[in-house]
Amino acid sequence: MPIDGSGRLRRREFLVAALTAAVATGCGGGDAHVLTARGVSREAPAKDAPVGEVVQGLTAFGHALYTAGGDAARNTVLSPLSIACAFAMARAGAAGAAAPALDRVFGFPAAGPHTAFNALTRQIVTVEGPPPPPDRRAERDAREQSADPVVGIANGLFVQQGLAVGQEFLRVLAAQYGAGAATVDFGGDAAAAINAWVDQQTAGRVDRLFDRLDQATRLVIANAVYLKADWKRPFAEIPAEEGAVFTRAGGSTVRTDLMRLDAELMYADGPGWQAVELPYAKSDLVMWVLVPRAGGSPAGLLTPESLGRAAAGLRPRGVGLALPPWDFATGLDLAAPLRRLGLGVVFDRPDFSGIAEGARIGRAVHRANISVDKWGTEAAAATGLAIPTSALADRLVEVRADRPFAFAIVHRPTSAPLFIGHVADPTATP
């Protein structure tokens, strides 16, 4: 990371330390720079929370946004969970036409949406607080024991000094999302402070959420999701196919390595598609790799119906899987695709009076990235809302992801999609 003199680095370290302290004490009321709902701490997950309804909404919204904002010719990765968490927090302060619009687009249940996000995220996370940054340069050995998975989900609220914030809004965010409100100066260092928080909550994978923030901004709602998990069966036993041909959507080709794994895996197929489930070690998380027929598009494989068929059809089967590694990122201004999905009202009208008088969503941004190699997966996403106010060879079914294919990283017990996307060109880099 370029550093313009030691002063900038010291300032960045100061901002990280200050925000860590502020947000960590966000529900305790012990820091003068943190707004809290007095006496409120995060609630235990409710057993009757409508988690299933939220997951259905997540899955449908994820595909709708992928369709509205994606490009079949470019690699794409999104986190439906991160985006929905951010907008669910905004929903806690929504009024007027914004509230039903958010419910319709995100599939938020009529009763208990916030308790559902509390219960769902608490099922998925493995770490409290910022995830530890991994040593990404360390050499790996196939004889090493798989590391424990790391899944972190953080919610943040950043408020202009002196802004009167609705107490019920603060109460819901503290009780259901574990978020206190750090006060910042949007006429000064607010963007740098928020970016430092996101950088820390994603173990350095997303180091910038906002390039800049308008001085009219008075509040930012932020969410960060981080995942680091080893494969249960690494692609380390069989040499990779070097220089294999990958056919892109337009028919042109590139050369890439294809990792090989011959194993008994959960497998499903249907007219024009194949699906393989790759489990992560010591975890309820899996990746579904969904490969269309030659010439087919991966987009249709991420619909709720397609994912449901894949999930229902998975059976143990000997599989010879050829899969490219990939490493790419997506940055998305959410306003345009969300308007196409029917959320223009949340950008055009001040319908968030529960947050603060005259509050509206001015900007909504999302950044996500993913790295997949023979050892496992590391992925991160952040969303910000700126508010002015084996002997298997002879019976293997062959699955070759040598053309554009889809993927979904799923919490298996709930089927909640943490990340979805497609690989259009595995040789493209961030």
Q: How confident is the model at residue 276 (pLDDT cuts 50, 70, 90)?
A: very high
**For residue range 413-424, what is the model confidence (pLDDT) as tens digits?**
999 999 999 999
Q: What is the pLDDT of residues 279-317, one digit of tens each?
A: 999 999 999 999 999 888 899 999 999 999 999 999 999
Range 66-76 average pLDDT: 88
User: What is the pLDDT at residue 28?
Assistant: 31
Place of tokens 């916030």: 114
How far is C-alpha 196 from the chain's CA centre?
18
Complete edge-to-edge strand list for the sheet that includes strand 376-388: 34-35, 181-184, 150-160, 217-230, 376-388, 363-372, 326-333
Q: Which of 285, 325, 288 is nearest to 308 (CA)?
A: 288
Confidence label for 398 from pLDDT (cuts 50, 70 and 90): confident
Q: Does the predicted model carry a pTM greater than 0.75?
A: yes
CA distances, 293 to each of 252, 286, 296, 395, 406 (Å): 17, 22, 5, 20, 12
Does residue 16 register a pLDDT over 70? no
Angle between the 190-201 and 6-24 helix axes, to the nearest 10 degrees?
70
pLDDT band at 430, cuts 50/70/90? confident
For 93-117, the pLDDT digits (tens) are: 999 999 999 999 999 999 999 999 9
Handedness of CA 79, 84, 90, 94 (dihedral sign): positive
Q: What is the pLDDT of residue 4?
A: 30
Are 276 and 321 in contact by the 8 Å Cβ rule? The answer is yes
Is the predicted pLDDT of residue 390 greater than 80, yes or no?
Answer: no
Radius of gyration of the chain measured on its C-alpha atoms = 22
- How far, in Å, CA of 103 to CA of 97, rounded? 10
- Per-residue confidence (pLDDT) for residue 33, from 0 to 100: 53
**The pLDDT of residue 3 is above 50:** no
pLDDT per position as a tens digit, 239-271: 999 999 999 988 999 999 999 999 999 999 999
The answer to whether residue 31 scores a pLDDT higher than 50 is no
Q: What is the DSSP string of 173-215?
A: HHHHH---EEEE-TTTTHHHHHHHHHHHHTTTS---S-S---T
- ∠ Cα 264 268 274 (to 5°): 105
Q: List CB contacts of 256: < 8 A, sequence separation 6 or more.
A: 243, 244, 246, 324, 426, 427
Mean pLDDT of 20-31: 36
Q: Are strands 405-411 and 285-292 parallel, antiparallel or unpaired?
A: antiparallel
Taking only the tens place, the pLDDT of each residue in 371-380 is: 999 999 999 9
Tens-place pLDDT, residues 211-225: 999 888 999 999 999
pLDDT of residue 365: 97
Does residue 9 surpass a pLDDT of 70? no
CA distance 18 to 6: 18
Q: Does residue 6 have a pLDDT over 70? A: no
Q: What is the pLDDT of residue 5?
A: 31
What domains does the chain contain, in order, with CATH numbers?
8-230+328-388 (3.30.497.10), 238-326+391-423 (2.30.39.10)
